[in-house]
Amino acid sequence: MATQPSPEKSQQSTGKHRVVVIGSGFGGLFGTKALRRTDVEVTMVAKTTHHLFQPLLYQVATGILSQGEIAPPTREVLSGQDNAKVLLGEVTAVDLDAHTVTSQVLGRSTVTPYDSLIVAAGAGQSYFGNDHFAEFAPGMKSIDDALELRGRIFGAFEMAELGASRGENVDHLLTFVVVGAGPTGVEMAGQIAELAHRTLKKDFRAINTRHARVVLVDAAPQVLPPFGKKLGEKTKVELEKLGVDVVLGAMVTDVDERGIEMKFKDGRVERIDSVTKIWAAGVAANPIGRTLSEQTGAPLDRAGRIAVNPDLTLPGHPDVFVVGDMIALDNLPGVAQVAIQGAKYAAKEIDNRLKSKPSQGPFHYFDKGSMAIISRFRAVALIGNLRVTGVLAWLMWLALHLIYITGFKNRVTALLHWFVSFIGRGRSERTTTEQQIFARSALGRLKRGAADLVSDPGAYDAARAMLETTRRAELEERAEEEARLTDAGERGVPVEQRVG
């Protein structure tokens, strides 16, 4: 039976103030970077080895960008910051009394002590209590999601070509449903429409990809509600010009392998047959929020976001800051700038305390505006009271995303790929594999996920030691017998004639 060794303590401390940062997303990375000149040792604990620029996930899913362009290795990004180290692991426990964070990777457990903690673990997809939908309608939160969707989207065209060659009806394969008409849903629907109607139009023989149907479904009465009615209406018109069916006021009540079922306000129920569904509808804050809530009494809202003090700390724990998508404060939206500004604020607060400087006072969010791309050369932007649409908004989107993509080489290659996709009609990243589509389901069938595919901690060494001992005994015994045969002159003598 495998033995579970006690958790490893994270590397010895230098005696400096220890800041632990949970997460390598916008909050985690910008918080760590903001501490670069502070006399502290920072340990970033994150469950992936990369920083992820989520706003461009849909471009990975639709073959415009590669995953490396939007997800640089955190270790490389922080390589020049001497006071920061990166630790791979999924945080499974935070002990606010013991001041420790416990993380796991492949069954290996690590405990990291902290003096100050910044929690920036973000949010996941919410299926509003219907988690079984996830198998048939992946969300868009991670590189795995984007690559799986890429495989499913391009795979659907391939299966349609095969089916059509045999004379079968392939409408269900050429129908793509995006659930959720927020920025991610709009961007995804727009890109699939461009892919089908423009990029792939010459690549198939048995099917006409221009006949593919893209449907954007939402229970709300308009698209992009946070952008206001006017921009919402404008976006709907633009999507329809691209050939997207926009179905509003429709609540998705079931999702299965072959399609979705939706119910309208008047009780009407409709089904859309579609193999490829994408869920861009809801978010649920990271479950770490629940453990923090249980230990502090800070309430969680319906999306699982934790109520924090105006200075982003937890009640009764001034050493613990929570930032970004995990917090419920002043109706702040779940956007990158809230995470970035919150993390920078927390880092400054830690710096001030160490230098015995006064606090900055409550955290104030500066809204720099929001934008969503509809297709090439078409976007909408809301900056204060200013509403921008069309090419100008698209150019603003382009400039802003180039600024925020981490890493110079990523900026250069992203620009190159945008040129290929938006000026030409190509997509540089169309490669997909069977594993990208099915690996998640296969891993899901294992009891402990990927941990079932490797030996338990220490088990490999123990098995090797055991093997070595038995093998040594075997070799010694054989050598002894060989010597005895020679000394007794028994070589060449039939076994039955041997004496003794």
> Binding residues for ligand FAD, per CB under 6 A?
22-28, 45-48, 54-55, 57, 90-91, 120-122, 140-141, 183-184, 286, 288, 324-325, 334-337, 339
Question: ∠ at Cα 365 (364, 368), nearest 5°?
Answer: 145
Nearer to ligand FAD, 170 or 217 (CB): 217
**Minimal distance, residue 338 CB to ligand FAD, in Å:** 6
**Minimal distance, residue 42 CB to ligand FAD, in Å:** 15
d(CA 49, CA 115): 24
d(CA 185, CA 216): 7
Contact, 244 vs 215, CB < 8 A?
yes
**Minimal distance, residue 306 CB to ligand FAD, in Å:** 12
Nearer to ligand FAD, 75 or 201 (CB): 75
d(CA 242, CA 215): 11
According to DSSP, the residues that pair with 19 across neighbouring strands are 42, 116
Contact, 67 vs 54, CB < 8 A?
no
According to DSSP, the residues that pair with 8 across neighbouring strands are 110
**Minimal distance, residue 74 CB to ligand FAD, in Å:** 8
Nearer to ligand FAD, 22 or 307 (CB): 22
Nearer to ligand FAD, 27 or 457 (CB): 27
d(CA 276, CA 135): 11
d(CA 280, CA 217): 10
Catalytic residues: 187
**Minimal distance, residue 331 CB to ligand FAD, in Å:** 14
Which amino acid does the sequence have at 313? T
d(CA 110, CA 100): 10
Nearer to ligand FAD, 31 or 163 (CB): 31
DSSP state of 243: T
DSSP, residue by residue, 426-472: --S-----HHHHHHHHHHHTSTTGGGGGSPPTTHHHHHHHHHHHHHH
**Minimal distance, residue 280 CB to ligand FAD, in Å:** 7
Residue number of the CB atom closest to ligand FAD: 25
Nearer to ligand FAD, 151 or 182 (CB): 182
